[in-house]
Amino acid sequence: MIIAERKSMNEILDMLDGVKKLLVLGCRGCVAVCSAGGDKEVEIMASAIRLGKKLAGEPIKIEATTYIRQCDPEYIEPLKKEGKKYDAVLSMACGVGVNFIADLCPGVKVLPGVNTTFYGANLSSGEWKEMCAGCGSCVLHLTGGLCPVARCAKRLSNGPCGGSQGGRCEIHPDTPCVWHFIHERLQEQGEADRLKEIMPIRDWSPAGDAGPRRRVREDLLP
């Protein structure tokens, strides 16, 4: 899922300077699962803004709601009209939601309530770890299912580097070296010979360096 984290209240209150009527808008997608922008976090944000504005002596009227998703047009549709009733809409969705609202709802001032950080997995309650970089050219079939793009600090295609010591990364010693794991995994699977092959220089063009990526499936188009 997409992982996000709440922006600091200082940053939030700065961007709400002059806002007197606000909609805090949550999303029940990824950000709800990672406890950054679902119903619960929307209520906390609304209460925190009320208190911050009161301390600053600035009146504000806040309403709060949560959409099923902010990355599908059918769920955003009501905001095209409703959003204009507010000075600003503070979206607690990932950056996709904020962008989508900005694209589809002209006349609505949308602001980000969270920082969108990475694609990750839930290790335990309150802990998430990056597992995918969305690079557009998956090599997991060659690496025992472990991603060297997302999980190697140097994004090496042929690792480990000389700095890997005792199975730990030299950049972040508290992080396991993913290439160490890849070697172990492929040996377990009887595919150690695969490591003798040099992976070619990576094609980064699907990774988004040439502007926003787009995918079209003709069979699903209306």
Partner 1 sequence: MARKKSKKRASAGIVGFCCNYTVSVEPEMLKERGLVPEDVAFKRLPCTGRLEVPAILDAFTEGAEAVFVAGCQIDECHNLSGSKRAAKRVQYARKILEELGLQPERLEMVFVPRGESEPIVEAARELKMRLSTMEGRS
Positions touching partner 1 (CB under 8 A) are 8-10, 13-14, 17, 40, 43-44, 46-48, 50-52, 54-58
Looking at the Cβ atoms of 57 and 200, the one nearer to partner 1 is: 57
Joined together, the tokens standing for residue 71 give 């990355």
Looking at the Cβ atoms of 47 and 205, the one nearer to partner 1 is: 47
Through-space distance between the first and last CA atoms of the chain, rounded to whole angstroms: 27
Total length of the chain: 222
Dihedral sign from CA coordinates of 78, 83, 85, 86: positive
Distance CA 191, CA 195 (A): 8
Looking at the Cβ atoms of 55 and 221, the one nearer to partner 1 is: 55
Least distance (Å) from partner 1 to the CB of residue 9? 4
Least distance (Å) from partner 1 to the CB of residue 103? 27
- Where are the alpha helices (H) located in 17-94, listed in sequence order? 30-33, 39-55, 73-82
Residue recorded with tokens 């299912």 = 145
Least distance (Å) from partner 1 to the CB of residue 12? 9
Contact 176, 168 (CB under 8 A): yes
Contact 211, 176 (CB under 8 A): no
Least distance (Å) from partner 1 to the CB of residue 113? 13
Least distance (Å) from partner 1 to the CB of residue 112? 16
- Taking every pair of Cα atoms in the chain, the longest distance, rounded to a whole number of angstroms, is 68
Looking at the Cβ atoms of 8 and 158, the one nearer to partner 1 is: 8
- Look at residues 55, 71, 58, 57 and name the one whose alpha carbon lies nearest to residue 22: 58
Looking at the Cβ atoms of 40 and 129, the one nearer to partner 1 is: 40
